[in-house]
Structure 1
Amino acid sequence: MGPGSLALALALLLAAPPAGGRSSREANEAPPAAADFRVARLEQLWRKAGRLHLSAVKLAELHSDLKIHEKEELSWKKLKAEGLDPDGEREARLRRNLHVIMAKYGLDGKKDAQLGATNYITGGLENDVLDDPRLEKLWNKAKTSSKFSKEELEKLWREFKHHKEKVHEYNLLLETVSRTEDISKNVISPLEEEALKEGLLHQKHRELKDQMQSINQGFERLRRVSHQGYDASSEFEEPRVIDLWDMAKLGNFTEQELESLREELKHFEAKVEKHHHYQKQLEVSQEKLRHVEGTRDKELLSRNKEKYSALEEKTKEMGYKVKKHLQDLSSRISRGLQHNEL
């Protein structure tokens, strides 16, 4: 598959019209400033996001996702030039990953962007739904139980929302795998398509299997915690860290390797908590900025804009570091799981 195949496939996706109309206020809002993306279509996606009704936190999250994707795409281009992606496996994975990002933030032209406009940090415990009767039943049991303090209940709610997002992203992957294959048939020759199938089939099934395993483990954990409460000796609190640690314990790691992973996960959890702190500060700053925008105090407005911009950049920076670290840890642990199955 030539480099033009990826560009053409992505161009077909980007050509999709945005879902629904926009209010005059949204239409007049300036898009976010250029993010220095080196890949033009990613810059185009970033500007398109500025015309959607996304919170400051979601825009920062999207920025992190696009930056990581850009780094992977630039790395792929170097490999492709050296002939190191002969079966197009990395190219196809990049294409699927971008589909997931677009769907996640409502950039694929569809009206239903479940994760695009919601934010569990400010959503409260009753302002969102879990979209799964089993989860709703467990949550209702937990919140009426005497086993949880207010803080523990908030912590459990984050775990429920994290599980919902995992299921949603799994469903997105299922959908985008088939969409990618449909688009590929229009941009590559039958011979190239046949060559791709053999190499990609196992990889796609592996990716889906890993995600389903994580979902099943997560549900069992939610079921156990909802009935029994939190274990006082629990090592981690962040849902993503809990997932990674549970997966690591199932992998083919030595005791020394597990201890090393445990320490790294502790550092990662501290990084995630710091990122949460900046997200909350950014939301507070955004609300203050909206409040003073209607005033005539230009000095106050200037100070709030300056503070907001600084927090926005810091949140983007921390978000990138968190997602890159999460990606690295997930890859290492997944390799251990795969080796364990051999």
Structure 2
Amino acid sequence: MNSKMERLILTFILIVCINAFGKVEGGSIPGGKYEEKTNKIPEMGEKPEFRSRNVIQVWEKAKRMELSETKMAELKGLLATHDQKAWQVKKDHREGKDIGDADAKLKIKLNQIMQRFGMARGAPDNQKALYNDVNRDFEDQRLEQLWRHAQTQDHFDKHELDELKKELMHHQDQLNEYNALAEDIYGPLNDAKKEKDRREKRNAKDNMTPTGDDPADPAKRRARELDLKLKHRDLNKDYQRLRTKMTPEEERGGFEDRRVISLWNDAVEASFSDEELESIKEELQAFEAKIHGYEEAQKAALREEKMYHNLKSRGENPDVQKHHTLRETAKELGSKISETMGSWRKALTAGRIHKEL
């Protein structure tokens, strides 16, 4: 009898036992914080009201306190909204998106809800620090969030935290240089909206007109914009590397790209056999190499376009087709990467290996 058949039989027996005895004594079946089994209210005949384990625990505590019907109804509405937000943050995190300090803010919000209904005292230790800019170590908000998050992680010892802070400080220096260059090209920014405007400019440089350039030399202007784009790509790559360090090394599976790490974690949680996991790991290694290739293709296209405009600003007549071809190549690679990522998500959600990846 193979291992898959054994698991199916054991699962069937477990379901029969649960149906026969109503519920498992001693609480829910152990699992991850957001695992479906652990995020249900364990009462027979009652539809699960929430998915987040923390929210469920608060709701069960409220029921034990025997609050009035009015207060329970009000609490249920607040918890339902909180549960939806918590689930979305978890989903974004698993997809490799930047959630910033969303998780910390959710914890603070849940504590505030508990205080409102007399279920908690005080506030989380990190609440004051989270919103107190006086104690900030970094000017950039994202770096500040990374640093604060790192200090709460058990997998960093004192030496590693010191080294991480040095890396973050170096990144802040590089970011300051980038911002100075951006201001030199696009003009000074309003201090009150500086950080927000800088972020917007990183994503919309092509629609802005640099200052201090000869309007009769658009090629020179474009070359400067492309140089800024290349610097921004390098900065973003380094920031993603720093973000990856927030995940313990043993949970990364030997991968560097956060999206691939997320896929690997999904695979580990999906009850694959050791042989299947080894096969998945090999496929993900090949996929990560393709992602790196795609990123290099994007940079190559930008460098070639920058060279084209530099040559043109000097009165030369370079070949326009070269960087156009590189740009189209990068675009095609990007489409394939997105398609493959979607296929991986579907395959791992279904709990099987996609043979065509």
Give the TM interval when normalised to the shorter protein: 0.3 to 0.5
TM value normalised by structure 2? 0.32
Larger radius of gyration: 2
TM value normalised by structure 1? 0.34
Higher relative contact order (CA 8 A, sep 6+): 1
